[in-house]
Structure 1
Amino acid sequence: MEVQFTGVSQRSPNSLRYRYRMQGVDRDWIEAAESGQVAYTNLPAGTLRFEVQVARAPVDWSRPVNQAQVELQVEAPWWQRTGTHLLGLVLLALLFAGLHAFLGRRQSRRRRRLESVVAQRTEELREKNAELEQASREREQLLTQLAHQAHHDALTGLPNRRACDLFLESAVERAEDAGTPLCVALVDVDRFKPINDRYGHQAGDEVLAQVAAHLLASLQHPSVFVGRTGGEEFLVVLRDMAREEALPRLEQARMDIAAMRLASLGDDLACTISVGLVQQASGEKPDDLLRRADERLYEAKRSGRNRVVAG
Protein backbone atom coordinates (compact mmCIF):
# COMPACT_ATOMS: atom_id res chain seq x y z
CA MET A 1 0.00 0.00 0.00
CA GLU A 2 1.08 3.63 -0.54
CA VAL A 3 0.36 6.55 1.78
CA GLN A 4 0.75 10.15 0.57
CA PHE A 5 0.99 12.96 3.08
CA THR A 6 1.61 16.76 2.99
CA GLY A 7 1.14 19.82 5.17
CA VAL A 8 -0.14 23.31 4.21
CA SER A 9 1.44 26.55 5.49
CA GLN A 10 0.75 29.97 3.95
CA ARG A 11 3.39 31.70 5.91
CA SER A 12 6.49 29.48 5.52
CA PRO A 13 5.74 26.30 3.51
CA ASN A 14 9.45 25.44 3.16
CA SER A 15 10.00 25.25 6.91
CA LEU A 16 7.74 22.24 7.40
CA ARG A 17 9.22 18.95 8.53
CA TYR A 18 7.52 15.52 8.75
CA ARG A 19 7.77 12.23 10.52
CA TYR A 20 5.68 9.08 10.22
CA ARG A 21 5.40 5.53 11.45
CA MET A 22 3.27 2.46 10.97
CA GLN A 23 2.62 0.98 14.36
CA GLY A 24 3.24 -2.73 14.29
CA VAL A 25 5.65 -2.36 11.39
CA ASP A 26 8.09 0.52 12.02
CA ARG A 27 10.12 0.36 15.18
CA ASP A 28 10.36 4.17 15.50
CA TRP A 29 9.39 7.40 13.80
CA ILE A 30 10.87 8.03 10.38
CA GLU A 31 11.66 11.69 9.60
CA ALA A 32 11.20 13.30 6.20
CA ALA A 33 12.23 16.83 5.10
CA GLU A 34 9.27 17.26 2.79
CA SER A 35 5.92 15.83 2.05
CA GLY A 36 5.77 12.74 -0.05
CA GLN A 37 4.61 9.18 -0.05
CA VAL A 38 5.63 5.91 1.59
CA ALA A 39 4.96 2.38 0.40
CA TYR A 40 4.52 -0.72 2.53
CA THR A 41 4.58 -4.30 1.39
CA ASN A 42 3.93 -7.58 3.19
CA LEU A 43 1.96 -5.93 5.99
CA PRO A 44 1.07 -8.31 8.79
CA ALA A 45 -2.55 -9.23 9.22
CA GLY A 46 -4.48 -7.45 11.93
CA THR A 47 -5.22 -3.86 13.06
CA LEU A 48 -2.54 -1.28 12.15
CA ARG A 49 -2.33 2.50 12.54
CA PHE A 50 -0.41 4.86 10.28
CA GLU A 51 0.59 8.13 12.00
CA VAL A 52 2.17 11.27 10.52
CA GLN A 53 3.22 14.53 12.29
CA VAL A 54 4.31 17.90 10.90
CA ALA A 55 6.36 20.59 12.67
CA ARG A 56 8.19 23.85 11.74
CA ALA A 57 11.89 24.20 11.79
CA PRO A 58 13.63 24.30 14.10
CA VAL A 59 11.86 21.07 14.86
CA ASP A 60 10.44 20.31 18.29
CA TRP A 61 8.55 17.05 17.99
CA SER A 62 7.19 17.44 21.48
CA ARG A 63 4.97 20.20 20.07
CA PRO A 64 4.03 19.22 16.52
CA VAL A 65 1.99 21.69 14.48
CA ASN A 66 -0.43 19.00 13.45
CA GLN A 67 -0.78 15.26 13.09
CA ALA A 68 -2.99 12.69 11.41
CA GLN A 69 -3.53 8.97 11.66
CA VAL A 70 -5.27 6.25 9.70
CA GLU A 71 -6.57 2.99 11.17
CA LEU A 72 -6.03 -0.06 8.95
CA GLN A 73 -7.52 -3.53 9.08
CA VAL A 74 -5.31 -5.89 7.10
CA GLU A 75 -6.86 -9.17 6.12
CA ALA A 76 -4.56 -12.17 6.07
CA PRO A 77 -3.99 -13.75 2.61
CA TRP A 78 -6.03 -16.83 1.90
CA TRP A 79 -3.11 -19.13 2.54
CA GLN A 80 -2.68 -17.76 6.05
CA ARG A 81 -6.32 -17.97 7.10
CA THR A 82 -7.51 -20.44 9.71
CA GLY A 83 -9.95 -22.10 7.33
CA THR A 84 -7.19 -22.57 4.83
CA HIS A 85 -5.00 -24.03 7.55
CA LEU A 86 -7.75 -26.40 8.60
CA LEU A 87 -8.42 -27.34 5.00
CA GLY A 88 -4.70 -27.89 4.52
CA LEU A 89 -4.56 -30.07 7.61
CA VAL A 90 -7.52 -32.07 6.34
CA LEU A 91 -5.94 -32.44 2.91
CA LEU A 92 -2.63 -33.35 4.51
CA ALA A 93 -4.36 -35.93 6.69
CA LEU A 94 -6.13 -37.30 3.63
CA LEU A 95 -2.81 -37.34 1.78
CA PHE A 96 -1.14 -39.25 4.61
CA ALA A 97 -4.12 -41.60 4.84
CA GLY A 98 -4.00 -42.19 1.09
CA LEU A 99 -0.24 -42.65 1.19
CA HIS A 100 -0.59 -45.05 4.11
CA ALA A 101 -3.29 -47.00 2.27
CA PHE A 102 -1.18 -47.02 -0.91
CA LEU A 103 1.89 -48.21 0.96
CA GLY A 104 -0.25 -50.76 2.81
CA ARG A 105 -1.68 -52.10 -0.45
CA ARG A 106 1.77 -52.18 -2.02
CA GLN A 107 3.15 -53.94 1.05
CA SER A 108 0.23 -56.35 0.92
CA ARG A 109 0.90 -57.04 -2.77
CA ARG A 110 4.58 -57.55 -2.01
CA ARG A 111 3.67 -59.89 0.85
CA ARG A 112 1.32 -61.85 -1.39
CA ARG A 113 3.98 -62.04 -4.12
CA LEU A 114 6.53 -63.12 -1.53
CA GLU A 115 4.14 -65.72 -0.12
CA SER A 116 3.50 -66.94 -3.67
CA VAL A 117 7.22 -67.15 -4.37
CA VAL A 118 7.82 -68.90 -1.03
CA ALA A 119 4.97 -71.33 -1.73
CA GLN A 120 6.33 -71.97 -5.22
CA ARG A 121 9.86 -72.50 -3.92
CA THR A 122 8.51 -74.71 -1.13
CA GLU A 123 6.62 -76.80 -3.66
CA GLU A 124 9.72 -77.02 -5.85
CA LEU A 125 11.78 -78.07 -2.82
CA ARG A 126 9.11 -80.61 -1.88
CA GLU A 127 9.18 -82.01 -5.41
CA LYS A 128 12.99 -82.05 -5.38
CA ASN A 129 12.98 -83.79 -1.99
CA ALA A 130 10.44 -86.29 -3.30
CA GLU A 131 12.62 -86.88 -6.35
CA LEU A 132 15.70 -87.27 -4.14
CA GLU A 133 13.83 -89.65 -1.84
CA GLN A 134 12.60 -91.63 -4.84
CA ALA A 135 16.13 -91.68 -6.27
CA SER A 136 17.44 -92.78 -2.87
CA ARG A 137 14.84 -95.56 -2.67
CA GLU A 138 15.66 -96.64 -6.21
CA ARG A 139 19.35 -96.57 -5.33
CA GLU A 140 18.73 -98.68 -2.23
CA GLN A 141 16.63 -101.09 -4.27
CA LEU A 142 19.35 -101.25 -6.92
CA LEU A 143 22.02 -101.84 -4.28
CA THR A 144 19.86 -104.51 -2.69
CA GLN A 145 19.26 -106.06 -6.09
CA LEU A 146 22.95 -105.92 -6.95
CA ALA A 147 23.86 -107.38 -3.57
CA HIS A 148 21.31 -110.14 -4.12
CA GLN A 149 22.61 -110.76 -7.63
CA ALA A 150 26.17 -110.79 -6.34
CA HIS A 151 25.32 -113.57 -3.87
CA HIS A 152 22.51 -115.46 -5.62
CA ASP A 153 22.21 -117.65 -8.65
CA ALA A 154 20.05 -116.08 -11.35
CA LEU A 155 18.58 -119.37 -12.55
CA THR A 156 17.55 -121.03 -9.28
CA GLY A 157 17.46 -118.06 -6.92
CA LEU A 158 19.70 -119.97 -4.51
CA PRO A 159 22.85 -118.51 -2.99
CA ASN A 160 25.72 -118.76 -5.47
CA ARG A 161 29.23 -120.19 -5.09
CA ARG A 162 30.58 -117.11 -3.36
CA ALA A 163 27.71 -117.02 -0.88
CA CYS A 164 28.14 -120.77 -0.28
CA ASP A 165 31.82 -120.34 0.57
CA LEU A 166 31.09 -117.46 2.96
CA PHE A 167 28.24 -119.31 4.68
CA LEU A 168 30.22 -122.52 5.05
CA GLU A 169 33.19 -120.67 6.53
CA SER A 170 30.90 -118.91 9.03
CA ALA A 171 29.08 -122.15 9.90
CA VAL A 172 32.37 -123.98 10.54
CA GLU A 173 33.61 -121.20 12.85
CA ARG A 174 30.29 -121.15 14.69
CA ALA A 175 30.26 -124.92 15.17
CA GLU A 176 33.85 -124.85 16.44
CA ASP A 177 33.12 -122.03 18.89
CA ALA A 178 29.82 -123.51 20.14
CA GLY A 179 30.88 -127.17 20.04
CA THR A 180 27.77 -128.09 18.04
CA PRO A 181 27.56 -130.67 15.22
CA LEU A 182 27.70 -129.62 11.58
CA CYS A 183 27.01 -131.65 8.44
CA VAL A 184 27.85 -130.77 4.84
CA ALA A 185 26.41 -132.44 1.73
CA LEU A 186 27.25 -132.07 -1.96
CA VAL A 187 24.32 -132.81 -4.30
CA ASP A 188 24.76 -133.54 -8.01
CA VAL A 189 22.06 -134.12 -10.64
CA ASP A 190 22.54 -137.55 -12.24
CA ARG A 191 23.15 -137.78 -15.98
CA PHE A 192 22.53 -134.08 -16.49
CA LYS A 193 24.59 -133.83 -19.69
CA PRO A 194 22.36 -136.28 -21.63
CA ILE A 195 19.36 -134.18 -20.57
CA ASN A 196 21.01 -131.05 -21.95
CA ASP A 197 22.06 -132.84 -25.13
CA ARG A 198 18.65 -134.40 -25.78
CA TYR A 199 16.27 -131.65 -24.68
CA GLY A 200 18.44 -128.55 -24.95
CA HIS A 201 19.83 -126.07 -22.48
CA GLN A 202 16.43 -124.54 -21.75
CA ALA A 203 15.18 -127.92 -20.58
CA GLY A 204 18.37 -128.36 -18.56
CA ASP A 205 17.78 -124.99 -16.88
CA GLU A 206 14.22 -126.05 -16.00
CA VAL A 207 15.52 -129.28 -14.47
CA LEU A 208 18.01 -127.35 -12.31
CA ALA A 209 15.31 -124.90 -11.21
CA GLN A 210 12.95 -127.76 -10.28
CA VAL A 211 15.67 -129.63 -8.39
CA ALA A 212 16.52 -126.46 -6.46
CA ALA A 213 12.83 -125.94 -5.58
CA HIS A 214 12.41 -129.54 -4.39
CA LEU A 215 15.60 -129.36 -2.32
CA LEU A 216 14.34 -126.24 -0.58
CA ALA A 217 10.91 -127.75 0.02
CA SER A 218 12.24 -131.07 1.31
CA LEU A 219 15.00 -129.63 3.47
CA GLN A 220 13.04 -126.65 4.76
CA HIS A 221 14.43 -125.96 8.21
CA PRO A 222 15.90 -122.85 9.94
CA SER A 223 19.24 -124.61 10.34
CA VAL A 224 19.50 -125.85 6.73
CA PHE A 225 21.24 -123.84 4.01
CA VAL A 226 20.93 -124.75 0.31
CA GLY A 227 23.04 -123.12 -2.41
CA ARG A 228 24.18 -123.76 -5.98
CA THR A 229 27.95 -124.04 -6.34
CA GLY A 230 27.88 -124.24 -10.13
CA GLY A 231 26.66 -126.38 -13.02
CA GLU A 232 24.39 -129.15 -11.70
CA GLU A 233 25.99 -129.22 -8.24
CA PHE A 234 24.43 -127.95 -5.00
CA LEU A 235 25.72 -127.45 -1.46
CA VAL A 236 23.67 -128.28 1.63
CA VAL A 237 24.85 -127.13 5.08
CA LEU A 238 22.99 -128.55 8.07
CA ARG A 239 23.86 -126.71 11.27
CA ASP A 240 23.30 -128.17 14.71
CA MET A 241 22.64 -131.58 13.15
CA ALA A 242 24.58 -134.78 13.53
CA ARG A 243 24.91 -137.23 10.62
CA GLU A 244 22.16 -139.46 12.06
CA GLU A 245 19.64 -136.57 11.83
CA ALA A 246 20.87 -135.15 8.53
CA LEU A 247 20.85 -138.47 6.66
CA PRO A 248 17.06 -139.10 6.69
CA ARG A 249 16.40 -135.51 5.63
CA LEU A 250 18.64 -135.91 2.59
CA GLU A 251 17.12 -139.32 1.81
CA GLN A 252 13.68 -137.73 1.78
CA ALA A 253 14.92 -134.98 -0.55
CA ARG A 254 16.43 -137.62 -2.87
CA MET A 255 13.14 -139.53 -3.05
CA ASP A 256 11.10 -136.35 -3.66
CA ILE A 257 13.33 -135.41 -6.58
CA ALA A 258 13.24 -138.95 -8.01
CA ALA A 259 9.44 -138.75 -7.98
CA MET A 260 9.48 -135.39 -9.76
CA ARG A 261 8.19 -135.32 -13.38
CA LEU A 262 8.73 -132.57 -15.95
CA ALA A 263 5.66 -133.02 -18.17
CA SER A 264 6.18 -129.59 -19.73
CA LEU A 265 9.14 -130.99 -21.70
CA GLY A 266 6.91 -133.25 -23.79
CA ASP A 267 7.13 -136.58 -21.97
CA ASP A 268 7.58 -137.91 -18.45
CA LEU A 269 11.15 -136.73 -17.97
CA ALA A 270 12.55 -137.71 -14.58
CA CYS A 271 15.88 -137.11 -12.91
CA THR A 272 17.69 -138.26 -9.80
CA ILE A 273 20.43 -136.92 -7.55
CA SER A 274 23.48 -138.33 -5.88
CA VAL A 275 24.51 -136.99 -2.45
CA GLY A 276 27.75 -137.13 -0.51
CA LEU A 277 27.25 -136.38 3.24
CA VAL A 278 29.92 -135.81 5.91
CA GLN A 279 29.96 -134.53 9.48
CA GLN A 280 32.61 -132.07 10.60
CA ALA A 281 35.44 -133.51 12.64
CA SER A 282 37.08 -131.49 15.37
CA GLY A 283 39.27 -128.74 13.88
CA GLU A 284 38.29 -129.61 10.31
CA LYS A 285 38.41 -126.69 7.88
CA PRO A 286 35.85 -125.90 5.14
CA ASP A 287 38.09 -127.15 2.32
CA ASP A 288 38.61 -130.46 4.12
CA LEU A 289 34.88 -130.85 4.63
CA LEU A 290 34.17 -130.19 0.95
CA ARG A 291 36.90 -132.61 -0.11
CA ARG A 292 35.45 -135.42 2.01
CA ALA A 293 31.89 -134.64 0.86
CA ASP A 294 33.08 -134.71 -2.74
CA GLU A 295 34.64 -138.14 -2.16
CA ARG A 296 31.34 -139.46 -0.76
CA LEU A 297 29.54 -137.92 -3.77
CA TYR A 298 31.76 -139.75 -6.25
CA GLU A 299 31.28 -142.92 -4.24
CA ALA A 300 27.52 -142.49 -4.68
CA LYS A 301 28.04 -142.01 -8.42
CA ARG A 302 30.18 -145.16 -8.66
CA SER A 303 27.64 -147.12 -6.65
CA GLY A 304 24.90 -146.53 -9.23
CA ARG A 305 23.70 -142.98 -8.51
CA ASN A 306 20.35 -141.95 -6.99
CA ARG A 307 21.58 -142.49 -3.45
CA VAL A 308 23.05 -140.78 -0.38
CA VAL A 309 26.46 -141.88 0.81
CA ALA A 310 27.47 -140.72 4.28
CA GLY A 311 30.98 -140.75 5.64
Structure 2
Amino acid sequence: MREYRKHASTRAVPVIVLSSKEDPATKGEAFAAGANDYLVKLPDRIELIARIRYHTRAYLDHVQRDSAHRALRESQRQLISANLELERLTRIDGLTGLGNRRYFDEYLAAEWKRAFRAQSPLSLLMIDADNFKRYNDTYGHMAGDDVLKQIARVIQSGSGRSTDLAARYGGEEFVIVLVDTILEQSSAIAERLVQSVRELNIPHGPDRVTISVGVATAVPTENETPNDFVNAADLALFRAKSEGRNRVALHMSRS
Protein backbone atom coordinates (compact mmCIF):
# COMPACT_ATOMS: atom_id res chain seq x y z
CA MET A 1 0.00 0.00 0.00
CA ARG A 2 2.75 2.46 0.91
CA GLU A 3 4.63 1.67 -2.33
CA TYR A 4 1.43 2.31 -4.29
CA ARG A 5 0.98 5.71 -2.71
CA LYS A 6 4.58 6.73 -3.39
CA HIS A 7 4.13 6.74 -7.18
CA ALA A 8 2.09 9.31 -9.14
CA SER A 9 0.67 6.70 -11.53
CA THR A 10 -0.88 4.61 -8.73
CA ARG A 11 -1.30 7.20 -5.97
CA ALA A 12 -5.01 7.75 -6.56
CA VAL A 13 -5.95 4.21 -7.64
CA PRO A 14 -8.52 2.82 -5.17
CA VAL A 15 -7.37 -0.18 -3.14
CA ILE A 16 -9.56 -2.56 -1.15
CA VAL A 17 -7.66 -4.46 1.52
CA LEU A 18 -8.74 -8.06 2.11
CA SER A 19 -7.46 -9.34 5.42
CA SER A 20 -8.04 -12.16 7.88
CA LYS A 21 -7.37 -9.77 10.77
CA GLU A 22 -10.20 -7.93 12.46
CA ASP A 23 -7.75 -6.12 14.75
CA PRO A 24 -8.63 -2.38 14.86
CA ALA A 25 -4.94 -1.40 14.99
CA THR A 26 -4.21 -3.33 11.80
CA LYS A 27 -7.30 -1.86 10.13
CA GLY A 28 -6.31 1.64 11.21
CA GLU A 29 -2.78 1.13 9.88
CA ALA A 30 -4.18 0.05 6.52
CA PHE A 31 -6.34 3.18 6.24
CA ALA A 32 -3.43 5.35 7.38
CA ALA A 33 -1.32 3.86 4.60
CA GLY A 34 -3.96 4.87 2.05
CA ALA A 35 -6.53 2.08 1.81
CA ASN A 36 -9.94 3.00 0.45
CA ASP A 37 -11.73 0.04 2.03
CA TYR A 38 -11.00 -2.86 4.38
CA LEU A 39 -12.77 -6.22 4.28
CA VAL A 40 -12.20 -9.07 6.70
CA LYS A 41 -11.88 -12.37 4.85
CA LEU A 42 -13.45 -12.73 1.42
CA PRO A 43 -17.00 -11.30 1.37
CA ASP A 44 -19.74 -12.72 -0.78
CA ARG A 45 -19.60 -12.04 -4.50
CA ILE A 46 -22.39 -9.42 -4.55
CA GLU A 47 -20.87 -7.32 -1.78
CA LEU A 48 -17.37 -7.47 -3.29
CA ILE A 49 -18.58 -6.42 -6.75
CA ALA A 50 -20.70 -3.65 -5.22
CA ARG A 51 -17.72 -2.27 -3.31
CA ILE A 52 -15.46 -2.50 -6.38
CA ARG A 53 -18.07 -0.66 -8.45
CA TYR A 54 -18.50 2.01 -5.79
CA HIS A 55 -14.78 2.72 -5.50
CA THR A 56 -14.32 2.55 -9.27
CA ARG A 57 -17.06 5.14 -9.81
CA ALA A 58 -15.58 7.34 -7.10
CA TYR A 59 -12.14 7.06 -8.70
CA LEU A 60 -13.43 7.85 -12.18
CA ASP A 61 -15.38 10.82 -10.83
CA HIS A 62 -12.17 12.04 -9.18
CA VAL A 63 -10.22 11.61 -12.43
CA GLN A 64 -12.89 13.42 -14.43
CA ARG A 65 -13.09 16.27 -11.92
CA ASP A 66 -9.32 16.56 -11.88
CA SER A 67 -9.23 16.59 -15.68
CA ALA A 68 -12.02 19.16 -15.79
CA HIS A 69 -10.18 21.35 -13.28
CA ARG A 70 -6.99 21.12 -15.33
CA ALA A 71 -8.88 21.98 -18.49
CA LEU A 72 -10.57 24.90 -16.72
CA ARG A 73 -7.25 26.20 -15.38
CA GLU A 74 -5.68 25.92 -18.83
CA SER A 75 -8.68 27.67 -20.39
CA GLN A 76 -8.42 30.46 -17.81
CA ARG A 77 -4.69 30.76 -18.46
CA GLN A 78 -5.27 31.02 -22.21
CA LEU A 79 -8.05 33.57 -21.67
CA ILE A 80 -5.84 35.73 -19.46
CA SER A 81 -3.02 35.47 -21.97
CA ALA A 82 -5.36 36.38 -24.84
CA ASN A 83 -6.76 39.35 -22.92
CA LEU A 84 -3.27 40.61 -22.12
CA GLU A 85 -2.27 40.26 -25.77
CA LEU A 86 -5.45 42.03 -26.89
CA GLU A 87 -4.78 44.84 -24.43
CA ARG A 88 -1.22 45.11 -25.72
CA LEU A 89 -2.40 45.22 -29.33
CA THR A 90 -4.87 48.01 -28.59
CA ARG A 91 -1.92 50.10 -27.42
CA ILE A 92 0.50 49.34 -30.27
CA ASP A 93 0.84 50.97 -33.68
CA GLY A 94 0.73 48.15 -36.21
CA LEU A 95 3.36 49.55 -38.56
CA THR A 96 6.09 50.75 -36.20
CA GLY A 97 5.54 48.74 -33.03
CA LEU A 98 5.53 51.94 -30.96
CA GLY A 99 2.62 53.05 -28.82
CA ASN A 100 -0.37 54.30 -30.78
CA ARG A 101 -2.14 57.66 -30.52
CA ARG A 102 -4.75 56.37 -28.08
CA TYR A 103 -2.13 54.99 -25.73
CA PHE A 104 -0.14 58.21 -25.94
CA ASP A 105 -3.18 60.29 -24.98
CA GLU A 106 -3.92 58.05 -21.99
CA TYR A 107 -0.29 57.91 -20.88
CA LEU A 108 0.28 61.65 -21.15
CA ALA A 109 -2.90 62.38 -19.18
CA ALA A 110 -1.82 60.02 -16.40
CA GLU A 111 1.75 61.34 -16.28
CA TRP A 112 0.52 64.94 -16.35
CA LYS A 113 -1.55 64.27 -13.22
CA ARG A 114 1.36 62.50 -11.53
CA ALA A 115 3.78 65.32 -12.36
CA PHE A 116 1.25 67.87 -11.09
CA ARG A 117 0.95 66.08 -7.75
CA ALA A 118 4.73 65.71 -7.41
CA GLN A 119 5.50 69.08 -9.01
CA SER A 120 8.13 67.35 -11.12
CA PRO A 121 9.21 68.19 -14.68
CA LEU A 122 7.72 66.47 -17.68
CA SER A 123 9.17 66.68 -21.20
CA LEU A 124 7.62 66.00 -24.57
CA LEU A 125 9.38 65.52 -27.90
CA MET A 126 7.30 66.07 -31.03
CA ILE A 127 9.09 64.52 -34.01
CA ASP A 128 8.36 64.79 -37.72
CA ALA A 129 10.02 63.18 -40.74
CA ASP A 130 11.09 66.03 -43.02
CA ASN A 131 9.46 66.32 -46.47
CA PHE A 132 7.94 62.88 -46.06
CA LYS A 133 5.15 63.38 -48.58
CA ARG A 134 7.76 64.10 -51.20
CA TYR A 135 9.59 60.91 -50.19
CA ASN A 136 6.39 58.86 -50.62
CA ASP A 137 5.68 60.49 -53.99
CA THR A 138 9.23 59.73 -55.18
CA TYR A 139 9.89 56.24 -53.78
CA GLY A 140 6.40 54.85 -53.11
CA HIS A 141 4.44 54.10 -49.97
CA MET A 142 6.12 50.75 -49.29
CA ALA A 143 9.49 52.44 -49.17
CA GLY A 144 7.92 55.17 -47.05
CA ASP A 145 6.63 52.60 -44.56
CA ASP A 146 10.11 51.08 -44.33
CA VAL A 147 11.57 54.52 -43.55
CA LEU A 148 8.99 55.04 -40.80
CA LYS A 149 9.97 51.70 -39.27
CA GLN A 150 13.65 52.68 -39.28
CA ILE A 151 12.90 56.06 -37.73
CA ALA A 152 10.70 54.35 -35.14
CA ARG A 153 13.60 52.10 -34.10
CA VAL A 154 15.79 55.15 -33.57
CA ILE A 155 13.04 56.85 -31.57
CA GLN A 156 12.50 53.76 -29.45
CA SER A 157 16.18 53.74 -28.57
CA GLY A 158 15.83 57.32 -27.36
CA SER A 159 13.25 56.33 -24.76
CA GLY A 160 15.21 53.66 -22.97
CA ARG A 161 13.71 54.03 -19.50
CA SER A 162 10.65 51.99 -18.53
CA THR A 163 8.85 55.21 -17.56
CA ASP A 164 9.33 56.81 -21.00
CA LEU A 165 6.88 56.32 -23.84
CA ALA A 166 7.59 56.48 -27.56
CA ALA A 167 4.50 56.57 -29.78
CA ARG A 168 3.38 57.24 -33.31
CA TYR A 169 1.30 60.40 -33.18
CA GLY A 170 -0.04 60.05 -36.70
CA GLY A 171 1.31 59.72 -40.25
CA GLU A 172 5.01 60.60 -40.12
CA GLU A 173 4.78 62.26 -36.69
CA PHE A 174 6.07 60.67 -33.49
CA VAL A 175 6.21 61.66 -29.83
CA ILE A 176 8.27 60.75 -26.78
CA VAL A 177 7.11 61.38 -23.21
CA LEU A 178 10.03 61.76 -20.80
CA VAL A 179 9.12 61.80 -17.12
CA ASP A 180 11.19 63.63 -14.48
CA THR A 181 13.29 65.14 -17.27
CA ILE A 182 14.40 68.76 -17.47
CA LEU A 183 14.79 70.78 -20.67
CA GLU A 184 18.56 70.31 -20.96
CA GLN A 185 18.23 66.53 -20.75
CA SER A 186 15.34 66.27 -23.19
CA SER A 187 17.02 68.59 -25.72
CA ALA A 188 20.16 66.43 -25.56
CA ILE A 189 18.04 63.35 -26.30
CA ALA A 190 16.39 65.19 -29.20
CA GLU A 191 19.77 66.16 -30.67
CA ARG A 192 20.90 62.52 -30.52
CA LEU A 193 17.75 61.43 -32.33
CA VAL A 194 18.31 63.96 -35.12
CA GLN A 195 21.90 62.82 -35.49
CA SER A 196 20.97 59.10 -35.41
CA VAL A 197 18.38 59.49 -38.18
CA ARG A 198 20.91 61.41 -40.30
CA GLU A 199 23.35 58.54 -39.77
CA LEU A 200 20.85 56.08 -41.24
CA ASN A 201 21.92 57.61 -44.58
CA ILE A 202 18.59 56.92 -46.27
CA PRO A 203 18.66 58.64 -49.70
CA HIS A 204 16.06 61.37 -50.19
CA GLY A 205 16.60 63.03 -53.56
CA PRO A 206 19.95 64.85 -53.47
CA ASP A 207 19.97 64.67 -49.67
CA ARG A 208 19.00 62.05 -47.07
CA VAL A 209 16.07 61.42 -44.73
CA THR A 210 16.07 63.70 -41.66
CA ILE A 211 13.76 64.60 -38.81
CA SER A 212 12.84 67.78 -36.98
CA VAL A 213 12.08 67.79 -33.26
CA GLY A 214 10.17 70.20 -31.05
CA VAL A 215 10.87 69.95 -27.33
CA ALA A 216 8.64 71.19 -24.51
CA THR A 217 9.26 70.89 -20.78
CA ALA A 218 6.79 71.83 -18.05
CA VAL A 219 5.98 71.45 -14.40
CA PRO A 220 2.18 71.15 -14.66
CA THR A 221 -0.05 73.81 -13.10
CA GLU A 222 -3.79 74.06 -12.54
CA ASN A 223 -4.10 76.45 -15.47
CA GLU A 224 -2.47 74.11 -17.99
CA THR A 225 -3.68 70.91 -19.64
CA PRO A 226 -1.98 68.07 -21.52
CA ASN A 227 -3.33 69.62 -24.74
CA ASP A 228 -1.51 72.86 -23.92
CA PHE A 229 1.64 70.83 -23.45
CA VAL A 230 1.23 69.08 -26.82
CA ASN A 231 0.59 72.43 -28.50
CA ALA A 232 3.78 73.83 -26.98
CA ALA A 233 5.84 70.94 -28.37
CA ASP A 234 4.04 71.27 -31.71
CA LEU A 235 4.89 74.98 -31.89
CA ALA A 236 8.51 74.17 -31.20
CA LEU A 237 8.41 71.57 -33.98
CA PHE A 238 6.91 74.13 -36.35
CA ARG A 239 9.76 76.49 -35.55
CA ALA A 240 12.34 73.75 -36.16
CA LYS A 241 10.86 73.09 -39.59
CA SER A 242 10.51 76.77 -40.48
CA GLU A 243 14.15 77.36 -39.56
CA GLY A 244 15.35 74.76 -42.07
CA ARG A 245 14.41 71.31 -40.73
CA ASN A 246 16.88 68.63 -39.63
CA ARG A 247 17.18 70.32 -36.24
CA VAL A 248 15.80 70.75 -32.71
CA ALA A 249 13.79 73.70 -31.41
CA LEU A 250 12.93 74.26 -27.75
CA HIS A 251 9.90 75.55 -25.93
CA MET A 252 9.50 75.72 -22.17
CA SER A 253 6.08 76.20 -20.65
CA ARG A 254 7.24 76.74 -17.07
CA SER A 255 10.34 75.82 -15.06
TM class by smaller structure? 0.7 to 0.9
% identical equivalent positions: 32
Which residue of the partner structure matches residue 185 of structure 2? 245
Q: Deviations over 1:114-169 (max 9, x none)?
A: 22222222222222222222221111111111111122212222221111111111
Q: Which has the larger radius of gyration?
A: 1
* 282 and 171 in structure 1: CA distance in 2 versus 1, 3 angstrom threshold: closer
Summarize the alignment of residues 32-43 of structure 1 with structure 2, pairs less than 5 Å apart: none
Counterpart-to-counterpart distance in 2, 1:127 and 1:207: 51
CA contact (8 A) 2:121 2:179 kept: yes
Corresponding position of 2:159? 219
How many angstroms apart in 2 are the aligned matches of 1:225 and 1:139?
27
State whether residues 124 and 177 of structure 2, in contact with CA within 8 Å, keep that contact through their aligned partners in structure 1: yes
Task: Give the aligned partner of residue 236 of structure 2.
Answer: 296
Change (3 A) 1:270 1:130: farther
Q: Which moved more, 1:234-243 or 1:221-230?
A: 221-230
- TM-score normalized by the length of structure 1: 0.61
Which of the pair has the greater relative contact order for Cα pairs under 8 Å at 6+ separation?
2
Q: SS state of the match for residue 86, structure 2? A: helix
Q: How far is 1:101 from its partner?
A: 8.0
The number of aligned residues is 209
Note if 1:235 corresponds to 2:175.
yes
Q: 1:201: how far off?
A: 2.7
Alpha-carbon deviations, 1:7-31, whole Å to 9, x = none?
xxxxxxxxxxxxxxxxxxxxxxxxx
Q: Aligned partners of 1:102, 1:172: CA distance in 2, in Å?
A: 81
How does 1:70-219 map onto structure 2 within 5 Å? 104-219=44-159
| 1-structure distance, mates of 2:41, 2:111 | 82
Secondary structure of the residue that 1:220 maps to in structure 2? coil
State whether structure 2 residue 213 is matched by structure 1 residue 275: yes
Change in CA separation of 1:113 and 1:300 when aligned onto 2, cut-off 3 Å: same
The DSSP-based 3-state class of the residue aligned with 1:229 is: strand
Deviation at 1:237, TM superposition (A): 1.2
> What is the alpha-carbon root mean square deviation over aligned residues?
2.5
1:281 Cα offset (Å): 5.3
1:104 Cα deviation (Å)?
3.1
* TM-score (structure 2 length as normaliser): 0.74
Question: Post-superposition shift, 1:307?
Answer: 0.8
2:98·2:156 contact (CA, 8 Å) conserved in 1?
A: no
What displacement does 1:102 show?
8.2
* Cα distance in 2, alignment partners of residues 261 and 243 from structure 1: 28
> What is the distance in 1 between the residues matched to 2:58 and 2:131?
72
CA–CA separation in structure 2 for the residues paired with 1:262 and 1:141: 39
| Partner Cα separation in structure 2 for residue 219 and residue 257 of structure 1 | 15
Runs of 4+ displaced beyond 4 Å: 100-103
CA distance in 2, matches of 1:107, 1:213: 76
Pairwise CA distance, 1:290: 0.8
Q: Distance in 2 between matches of 1:120 and 1:261?
A: 69
